[in-house]
Structure 1
Amino acid sequence: MIKGYEERYLLILLSAVMNQKPSPEPIRSLDWEKMFRLADYHGVAHAVHYGILGLDEEIPQAVRQQFFDKYLESVYRVGRLQKSETQLVALLERERINCFYLSYSDIVKHYPIEEMCCRESIEIGSSRKCTSVIWGILEKIDFEERRTDEAGRLYYRIPGIRVLNFDYTLFFSASMRRFFRSLLKLSPLQAGSRYIRELPLDDRYLFLMCRLTDSYARGNISLSQIMDFWIFYKTYGENFNWPYIYGRLKKLKIADFAERLEHLILRWFGTGAVIENVEIYEAMESYILSKGTDGREISSKLLPLIKTVADCYARNRRLEEMRKMVAWLFPDRRYMETIYPLLGKIRILLPLFWIIRLLRYLSRLCTNPLRNNVFPKLKSLFQKAVKRLPIINKKAKSENTEEESKETAEIPK
C-alpha cells in the first residue's frame, strides 16, 4: 500500500496531465517539498509543473520555482535532442555501425505537449563489439562520459545533449539478452540505410516491456519510464500483433508479470481498469514508487527475477570484498617499492616481501594489545607486589622515621 498521500496525489496529477484533464484539488494538506523530491526522484517534475499551474492550493514559491526550472530544462532539451539525433544517426551510418535506436523524435511528438516527454537521452543499442567504436566516435565530437545509474554508458555534451549507448548487458535475464542480440540480426534496416536498423512495432513493445521488467527486478524502475511506455502503448496499441507478442513474452518468461504491469499502467493513466487481487497491485505501486524498498515480498513472488538479481548482487558484493582483501594482502609492485626500495632493483623478490610485510603486520597485531593493555597492568601489579615485600616496608618505615626526626629537630625552641 502507498504510504503517503503525496505518492497517491502524484499519480493523480500525472494521470490528469497525460489525459489533458483539469488537475483535481488535493483533499488533504500536502508536503510540497516532499512532492517535488518524489517527482524529481522519478524524473517527472517537469510534467508535474503543468499539473500544478491551475491549482488553488497554496504552494510555496520556492517549490513552484523548482518545478518551473525542471520544466525549462525540458523545453530546451526537446529541440536539442531532436536535432542531435538526426546528426548522430547520419554519423553512425557513415561509420557503418550496425545498431538500432529508440527514436526520440518519434515518441516526443505523441506526448500531449512535447515538453512533457520524459526521455532525456538519445538511446542507441549495439553489439558489444560496436560499443567501443561508438564511444570513440562520441569522444571525437566532444562528448564526455558521465556517471549514470542507468544500464549502459552515458555521454554528455554541452549544452545538455545526452547519449546513452547499451549492449545486451542492458538486461540481466539470459532470455532477454538473446532477444537483444536477435534485434541486431533480424530487425529490418531503416529506409535509406544500410546499417541502422528500425525496430518493428511489436519488437519495440517487447523491448520496452523487457526494459521495464528488468528495471523492476533491479529496483530502479521510474515513473518516467512508465510514462514513456504508456505514450507508445496508447499511440500504437491498435496496431500490435498480440498473438506474436504474447508468444514472445512466454518465451521470455515474463508473460504473467507483463500482463499485471500493463493492467497497473492502465489503472494509472488509461481507463482506470477494474482489477482483481488489489493487494498485489498495491504492492506493485509501493515497489515502483519506492524503487524497490517497499512491497518487495509480494513482488518477488510475482517476478522471481527479483530474487535472482538480489542473489547475484549479493554474490557480486562477496566477490568485490574478496578482491579488496586480495588487493590488500598482495599490493602491487609500485606500492611495495615505496616500503622496500630494494624491489626496484630485484623485482623477483616481490613474493618474499609480501610475506615479510604480512609477518610484520601480524607481529604488530599481536604485540600492540600486549603493549597497550597487558604490559601496563603487569607493571602496576608488579609495583604493588614489590611495595608489599618486608624489606621494602622496613626501608620505607626507616625513611619515614628519619624524616620525622629531622622535622622535630628543626622545630625552634
Structure 2
Amino acid sequence: MVAVRGGMMSELKDCPPLKYYDFKPVEHVKVCPRYTAVLGRSEDDGIGVEELDTLQLELETLLSSANRRLRALEEQRQILTDWQDKKGDKRFPKMGKDPDQSASSRHKPKKQKLDGKGSHAPGPGPGRPKLKNLQAKEYEFNEDPQDIPRTPKNDSPNRFWALVEPYCADITNEEIRLLEELLKPPDDEAEYYKIPVLGKHYSQRWAQEDLLEEQREGARANDKKKSIMGGPLSELDAKDVDSLLKKSESQHESPEDGCPFGPLTQRLLQALVEENIISPMEDSPIPDMAGKDANDGAGTSPRSQSKAFGVPHTRSLEARIKEELVAQGLLDSEERPGAGADSEDEVLAELHKRQAELKALSAHNRARKQELLRLAREEMRKQELRQRVRVSDNEVMEAFRRIMAARQKKRSPTKKEKDQAWKALKERDSILKLLDI
C-alpha cells in the first residue's frame, strides 16, 4: 500500500499544468439577433437581400468564438500529449536497466496470493519471456505517436476581404480616366430626342392598299382574257395607277371647303391679308358676254368653279413654309400644325414625357459623375499626402532609434542627429496640416 501511494503521489506531482477554461457560450439573442430571428422562421419565409450584411457579421462573430474555443482545447491537448511523451521517455531507461526487477515487483502481490492458497510459484525459466513480451506491448504506443489532426482551413474571411478589397483600395489614374470618358456625351445622344415624322393615316393607307390590290386582280383577269381570246385588251399601266393614287390622296387631304393649301399656308395668308378689303365675287356684277361661252358661264358661280381649282406642289410649299418659320424662330421645331391633332395624339404626348424624363435623368447622372470625379481627384491628392506621411514617419522613427542608441551608449546625441530629428518632425507636421485641410 505504501508503494502504491508513493506511485500515485509521484504521478500527481508529474501532472501537467492544465488550464481549465470557462467557455462562456455566446448569447444568440443579444449578440446575434438577426441570426436568432432567421432560425425562428419557416422555410417559406427565406432571407431578404437587406439582411445578408448583418447576418454575415453575426456568423463571423460565432465563427470567431468557435475558433477561440478550438484553439484553447488544442492547446490543452498538446500539453497532455507532451506530458505523456515525457513520462514515456522517463520509463524507458528504467525498464532498460532492470526489466526483470520491475516485472517481479509488479507481479509480487499476485505471487503472494497464490502462495497463500498453497499453489506453487511458476519457475523462473518460462515466466521471464512472457514478462518481456508484455512489457514491450505496454510501451508500444510511445513508439508511434498519433498525428495531430490539422485544423480545417477557414477560407471564408479570405474570400470576404478579397471581395471588399477593390472597394477599399487606392484610386488609380486609370479610374480617373474612366470617369473622364464617362463624362463625354455619347455620339448617338441626339437620336433619342428625335421624333419620327407622322405617317399617313391608316384609312388613307388602307385605301391605297385596297386600290393596289384591285389593280393587281384586274391585271390578272386581263391576262387570263388575253390568253384565252388572244387579242390585246386595255389595261391599267403604272402611270394610271400613280395618277389614281395621287387623285385619291388629294381627295383625302383636301378639306371640306376644297382649299388645296395646308394649314400653315392658310394661317400665313390670313395673317397677311386684311379683312373686308376684297368684296365677295357673288355680289360683284358680271358683265354680259357675247356668244355661247357667255351664256354657258352665266349659270356657274365662282365658288362652284373654285371647287375644280387645283394648285400643284402644295405639299412642298407647306414644307418650305414650315422650315422658314422654324428658321425665323416663329415656330418651334417640335411643334406640328394643328394643335387639336396634337392634343389627341397619345403616342406623341408619351414621347415628349419620356424624353423629358430622359433629359432630367441624364442631367442628374452627369452631375453625379462630375461630383464623383471631383471627389476622386481630391482623394488622389490625399493619397499622395498619406504616402508622404508614411515616408516621414519612417524618417522620424529612424532619428528616434539613433538618439536611443546614443543614450544606450551613454553619450549625448550630436547636433546633426538632433537637427535631423527636428527636421523630420516639422516636415511631418506640415504634411499633416495639408492632409487636414
TM-score for the superposition, normalised by structure 1 = 0.19
Question: TM-score with structure 2 length normalisation?
Answer: 0.18
Higher strand share: 1
User: Whose Rg is larger?
Assistant: 2
